[in-house]
Amino acid sequence: MQNVDAINSGIPAIPKDNYLTNGFSLKSWLLTKDHKRIAIMYLITISMFFMAGGLYASAIRLELLTPETDLLTSATYNKVFTQHGILMIFFFLIPSIPAVLGNFLLPIMIGAKDLALPRINLLSLYIYWIGGALTVFALLQGGVDTGWTFYTPYSTTFSNSYVMAVGLGIFINGFSSILTGLNFIVTVHTMRAPGMTWFRLPLFVWAQYATSLVMILGTPVIAITVLLLAIERTVGVGIFDPAIGGDPILFQHLFWFYSHPAVYIMILPGMGVISELISNFSRKKIFGYEFIAFSSIAIAVFGFLVWGHHMFVSGQSIYAGMVFSFLTMVVAVPSAIKMFNWTATLYKGSISYDTPMLYAIGFMGLFLIGGLTGLFLGAIGLTVHLTDTYFVVAHFHYVMVGGQVIAYLGGIHYWWPKMTGRMYSEFWGKISAMLVFIGFNLTFFPQFIVGYQGMPRRYASYPAEFQVLNIFSTAGASVLGVGLVMPVIYLGASLINGKPAGDNPWMLPGLEWRTSSPPPTENFEKTPVVTWEAYEFGEESGLDLDGARRRDQVSTVV
């Protein structure tokens, strides 16, 4: 038994010193080495980037309300969709789950006092801030219009926008990813509590570990690629521009060698969150633990073998295209393993539809659509028709927003009581989750249809026959926007007037629920010794969860 409060779940915990009360000065935050405080600072910054990216998305959808180029000029529109992509991908989607939830929870979930390299952790935050500040500065100066992909030779030769400054911001930001990944790998190898064997690790930790491998192996390549782009743009060395002896398709190879695995940097941690939610809110040991764990590693490895499917119509060899197409089908297998295992976990589970679980179920549906439409795009023949249409836009938003963002929101709601010690309004949480689900589908499903009908992406105007579906999309975006703003309000309000959460509000056996909420600076009063298997809901877990639940129901009635 690790913590008496875990048994008394639902009953407000006695106030204790915790990481939030351990110093209130600005210095105590800016120079902290506590992984939890660093995670909170990441949370605030990342949320700001998400809102900025969302504003750009609003501008895009408003422009596309009518077929004409009216709200924005074409040149401005190019900058708007580029900046939406850059902010969302490099400054929200990639860092969000690892830097916020991973930073906060990974050490606690393995029974450690902190990450293995706390100073490096703080350094990664500062690097993220510097890279972000430089990028925002460049965007405010006039921005960049190349698309987030920076395709050459446009980016090296023709674009008059702030390619260099934004590229430098992304280059710097990459080191933040590398350091976070390095920290996680070292921590998982060296800081596990006694008894926390590899196959007792929560699947969220496995997912973070796999993600870290991709971060470390892939991110240097994009850094080098951006550097090469800068060298060509400034010095005129022929690397990518065919006019001076370069090869533009080489840029695409190097860019996608990182940027496709980057998709897995974004989605793998989300899958880790979903594994936690599905098992814990079904109150059932997860089906096929080892398969899910190793499928994360398989996705990380195979994810490096499929980048050419972004280049089917670029001039890449048809034989290379065939190989990449085949491998793209292969990488779908480990993702499918996860989906089947999650579904099997739900079967005969004692499912409770709390807000985090609503997000998890939403994830399963949306990621399924995103994944299956990926097969359309990975098929070397069909993709010729679909390339650079809104079908692609819909597909990756189903994976990125329907997958990663939904999982992130689910994770934030799930661990919010642990992070803050406060419960949020379940009512507004559920309303918000449903608005996000409905708004998201209304926004992006019509884009599959207009894309299949031939509407190209990245244009401010379009033929009038596509307008009805675009109006659906814009209307859906406004619903989605409301759904996404709501958590800012009710989660913020919970900090002021939220009910004390207790240490284990969901009554779960995981290690993070066996310490106080919010956790103390050193995470545990004494180093825990793990004697139970992962997702063990029986008495073997050492917690009388059923008894605690009964007591909680009685106290609620009273």
Q: What is the 3 state secondary structure string of 254-293?
A: HHHHHHHHHHHHHHHHHHHHHHHHHHHHCCCCCCCHHHHH
Based on the shown chain and the rule CB under 8 A, indicate whether residue 320 belongs to the binding site for another protein.
yes
Q: Is 257 in the site for another protein (CB under 8 A)?
A: yes
- 297 is a site residue for another protein (CB under 8 A): no
CA dihedral 505, 509, 510, 513 (to 10 degrees): 30
Task: Annotate 193-215 with three-state secondary structure.
Answer: CCCCCHHHCCHHHHHHHHHHHHH
Q: How far apart are CA 536 and CA 385, in angstroms?
A: 49
* 154 burial level (CB within 10 Å; 0-12, 13-18, 19+): middle
Instruction: Choose the stretch contacting another protein; rule: CB under 8 A; options: 227-235, 314-322, 426-434, 458-466.
Output: 314-322
- Our finding on whether 319 is near another protein (CB under 8 A) is yes
182, 217, 431, 482: which one binds another protein (CB under 8 A): 217
Whole-angstrom distance, CA of residue 508 vs CA of residue 495: 23
Could you tell me the smallest distance in angstroms from the CB atom of residue 170 to another protein? 20
Q: Which is nearer to another protein, 51 or 217 (CB)?
A: 217
Query: Cβ 530 to another protein, closest distance in Å?
Result: 23
Of 104-112, 125-133, 307-315, 476-484, the window that binds another protein (rule: CB under 8 A) is 307-315
User: Which residues on adjacent β-strands are paired with residue 500?
Assistant: 422
Closest-CA residue to 276 (of 212, 335, 207): 207
CB closer to another protein, 319 vs 347: 319
Site mask for another protein (CB under 8 A), range 171-190, x = bound: ------------------x-
Tell me the H-state helices in 89-197: 103-109, 118-141, 163-190
C-beta closer to another protein: residue 109 or 221: 221
Q: Which stretch binds another protein (CB under 8 A): 29-37, 248-256, 280-288, 366-374?
A: 248-256
* Calpha distance 527→3 (Å, rounded): 12
Residue 219 beta carbon to another protein: minimum distance, rounded to whole angstroms: 13
CB 325 to another protein: min, Å: 13
User: Of the ranges 69-77, 245-253, 284-292, 449-457, which one interacts with another protein (CB under 8 A)?
Assistant: 245-253
Name which of 390, 498, 480 is nearest 443 in CA terms. 480
Nearer to another protein, 184 or 304 (CB): 304
What part of residues 457-516 is at the interface with another protein (CB under 8 A)? Answer: none
Q: What is the distance between the alpha carbons of residues 233 and 163, in angstroms, rounded to a whole number?
A: 9
Q: Is the peptide bond before 98 cis (omega within 30 degrees of 0)?
A: no
User: Which one of residues 51, 55, 65, 323 is an interface residue with another protein (CB under 8 A)?
Assistant: 323
336 near another protein, judged by CB under 8 A: no
Closest CB to another protein among residues 24, 319 = 319
As given in the structure block, the two tokens for residue 47 are 């949320």
Q: ω before 153 within 30° of 0 (cis)?
A: yes
Q: Considering CB under 8 A, how many residues would be counted as binding another protein? A: 19
253 interacts with another protein by CB under 8 A: yes
In angstroms, what is the minimal distance from the CB of 179 to another protein?
A: 16
DSSP line for 219-267 = HHHHHHHHHHHHHHHHH---SS-GGGT--HHHHHHHHHHHHHHHHHHHH
- In terms of CB distance, is 303 or 505 closer to another protein? 303
For residue 532, how far is the Cα from the chain centroid?
29
Strand partners, 456: 389
Nearer to another protein, 308 or 410 (CB): 308
Question: How far apart (Å, rounded) are the C-alpha atoms in residues 77 and 66?
Answer: 14
Of 11, 55, 297, 305, which one interacts with another protein (CB under 8 A)? 305
Smallest gap, in angstroms, from Cβ of residue 257 to another protein? 6
In degrees, rounded to 5, the angle at the alpha carbon of residue 275 between the alpha carbons of residues 287 and 2 is 95
Is there binding between residue 386 and another protein (CB under 8 A)?
no
Nearer to another protein, 281 or 312 (CB): 312
**Residue 131 or 261 with smaller CB distance to another protein:** 261
Stretch that binds another protein, among 23-31, 110-118, 309-317, 363-371 (CB under 8 A): 309-317
Which residues contact another protein by CB under 8 A?
A: 189, 217, 221, 249-250, 253, 257, 304-305, 307-308, 315-320, 323-324
